[in-house]
Amino acid sequence: MASKIEIFDTTLRDGEQSPGVSLNSYEKLEIAKQLAKLQVDVIEAGFPIASNGDFNAVKTIAENVKGPVIAGLARANFKDIDRAAEAVKAAERPRIHTFIASSPIHMKYKLKMTPEQVLEAAVEAVKRAKSYVEDVEFSAEDASRSEVEFLCKLFSAAINAGATVINIPDTVGYATPEEFGSLVKTLRERVPEMDKVKISVHCHNDLGMAVANSLAAVQNGATQIECAVNGLGERAGNAALEEVVMALVTRKDLYNVDLNIDTKHIYRTSKLVSTLSGIYVQPNKAIVGANAFAHESGIHQHGVLSEKSTYEIMTPESIGLSSNRLVLGKLSGRHAFAQRLKKMGYELDDEELNKAFERFKDLADKKKEITDKDIEALVEDQVLKIPQLIVLEYFQTSSGNQTISTATVKVKIGEKSVEEASTGDGPIDATYRALERACNIDCKLVDYSIKSVSGGKDAMGEVIVKIEKDGKLFTGRGLSTDIIEASALAYTNALNKTLWNNGNGR
């Protein structure tokens, strides 16, 4: 039978220790409510002795958030514990989490205490906490760099003093998965009392192994994992909640454990924490990064279009996303392009599709991501196009606020190439005059408009011109990431239409 793993969320306590993060009571309450929807087992709401603000945040959460256990952190002293007890007392299920460091480095240099004094402080702290609440968690800070013999003594004493949860932190993210798993195993074997309590782990990510260490601990008998949304936490952060959870869910075949978590709330929770903490999630972040369910390369897109599981080991829906994302860029293939066109309602025959795909690839070489609006513009440009009697081969402009604008253009008219130059009021006016000369067409520009087809600094510009010739109006349209090129193409397109209209075409 699968055993149960509890998820202890410390976003509001250790997560808030991330440099640059400071959440007010209202923001903490919002996050706590979302964590309750996510169905975490424990919310460590803060460190009540730290400030009146933190005390109030923990108290407000204890009063208002139902479902999870609400924990408050306290050092191993009465002042901290009394304050934590006051803060969590209104909770449905309050917990006091008290800790003291157990490694030789921390005891000697930071606490300036002997192991005996640490052991005594731990026992007194647990007893004090127990006088307020039934549920008491004890942590041996820097456990992974502590002497195992001493850890065994400390944990045994804490359990006998009333601790209901024993936490084994890898405070500085020093352990490797093999070591950490084996530490959990050894402690379980050597401290018989550990069988009576929950065994928790709290891993930091200094070497990028927080999640791996937490999972190794599960394989060696840990029953609670402490983690934070988006991997927030002191220095490089804590084990990322979303990664721990989705690893246990996706690889249930391996871990065979059950969780209370409603994974469909993962994405929303990550977004909320990112917005309120001001810490952005990197795009390639596992599970919740913008690219976690996105595919840009043609071979992968073809794979997921045929069968999602070819390149997706979990579904986007399982974390609360509506779907995966096929991003169109220069590495994309015909399958994904055709699928997008179909979704957008275009029905192109094979030849049209080939042409549109060619133009799409040309554009993708200039522009990182091709949006639906770009595609719409490409297809409409192609569908509305008349045969090109005049083809713009080349243009060059020079302009500035102190010089006269000049343009040189080269066009192919039928089999003949013609090059012309002109000055003008600006680079576009100069280009238009040069084009008129090269094509030997006498016409008048009556309207010019430009708009951006998509967003970003590499957006395509769409230029629409109207020219008048012999009393008739001709519209031309040009598209390019370069607005002068878009302008030149629009004018060439309109000039083409004047010839077409005169019966010179085909």
Ligand X SMILES: CC(C)C(=O)C(=O)O
Residue 71 in contact with ligand ACO, rule: CB under 6 A: no
- Taking CB under 6 A as the criterion, the residue among 100, 239, 248, 411 binding ligand ACO is 100
Query: Taking CB under 6 A as the rule, does residue 281 contact ligand ACO?
Result: no
238 is in an annotated binding site: yes
Smallest gap, in angstroms, from Cβ of residue 210 to ligand X?
Answer: 10
Nearest residue to ligand X on Cβ basis: 169
| 106 makes contact with ligand X (CB under 6 A) | no
Rule CB under 6 A: say whether 169 interacts with ligand X.
Answer: yes
* Binding positions for ligand ACO, 118-147, rule CB under 6 A: 141
Among 111, 207, 236, 464, binds ligand ACO (CB under 6 A): 111
Is 202 marked within a binding site?
yes
Q: How far is CA 37 from CA 84, 245, 318, 333, in A?
A: 24, 15, 15, 40
Return the residues of window 229-258 that contact ligand ACO according to CB under 6 A: 234
**Beta strand pairing call for 224-227 and 198-203:** parallel
Q: Per rule CB under 6 A, is residue 214 in the interface with ligand X?
A: no
Binding-site member from 5, 11, 29, 75 for ligand ACO (CB under 6 A): 75
Q: Does 142 bind Mg ion (CB under 5 A)?
A: no
Q: Does 335 belong to an annotated binding site?
A: no
- Say whether 97 counts as a known binding-site residue: no
DSSP assignment letter at 137: E
Torsion of CA 451, 457, 459, 461, to 10 degrees: 40
Contact 395, 488 (CB under 8 A): yes
- Find the DSSP H helices in 66-209: 78-88, 104-105, 115-130, 148-160, 177-190
Q: Which does 489 bind (CB under 5 to 8 A by kind): Mg ion, ligand X, ligand ACO, none?
A: none
The beta-strand segments (E) located in 335-460 are 390-398, 405-413, 416-424, 444-452
3-state secondary structure of 433: helix
Q: How many residues bind ligand X (CB under 6 A)?
A: 9
167 binds ligand X (CB under 6 A): yes
Binding Mg ion by CB under 5 A: which of 6, 14, 16, 137?
A: 14
User: In this chain, which of 8, 99, 395, 491 binds ligand X, going by CB under 6 A?
Assistant: 99
Query: Judged by CB under 6 A, does residue 9 bind ligand ACO?
Result: no
Separation CA 12–CA 399 (nearest Å): 57
Which one, 14 or 82, has the nearer CB to Mg ion? 14
Are 231 and 17 a contacting pair, CB within 8 Å? no
Instruction: Name the one residue in this structure whose structure tokens are 């959440």.
Output: 23
* Cα–Cα dist 355/387, whole Å: 14
- Beta-bridge mates of residue 135: 95
Strands 461-469 and 472-480: antiparallel
Range in contact with ligand X (rule: CB under 6 A) among 19-27, 62-70, 79-87, 163-171:
163-171
Instruction: Determine the Cα–Cα distance for residues 438 and 421; give it in Å rounded to an integer.
Output: 8
Chain residues binding Mg ion by CB under 5 A are 14
| Binding-site entries for Mn(2+) | 14, 202, 204, 238
Binding-site sequence positions = 14, 202, 204, 238
Which residues contact ligand X (rule: CB under 6 A)?
14, 99, 139, 141, 167, 169, 171, 202, 204
